[in-house]
Amino acid sequence: MSDEKCPLCGSESFYIKDPADPYEVYEFDLKDGKIVFNSDTDESEIPEVQGETETYCNRCAWHDKLKALK
């Protein structure tokens, strides 16, 4: 399995934007190849996350499709 870290800074913390509200974000970590959302995130509100989902690093300016990390 490849590294699920940011290719620029090595962070394992990322976020996605809500497609209906670009100002609403959902933060998560990639642990053992799995997406782990923060404990304060309401799971019923999280949009579906797939390989084509635009993903942003929480520490630097990197962003790309989620599949670029896997």
Residue 1 pLDDT: 39
Among candidates 24, 13, 3, which has minimal Cα distance to 60? 13
pLDDT along the chain (70 residues), means of 10: 80 92 91 86 85 95 91
Residue 3 pLDDT: 63
Residue 46 pLDDT: 86
Residue 2 pLDDT: 52
Residues near 66 by beta carbon (within 8 Å), at least 6 away in sequence: 16, 49, 50, 51, 52, 53, 54, 55
* Beta pairing class for 21-31 and 13-18: antiparallel
Residue 42 pLDDT: 82
List the chain domain ranges: 13-69
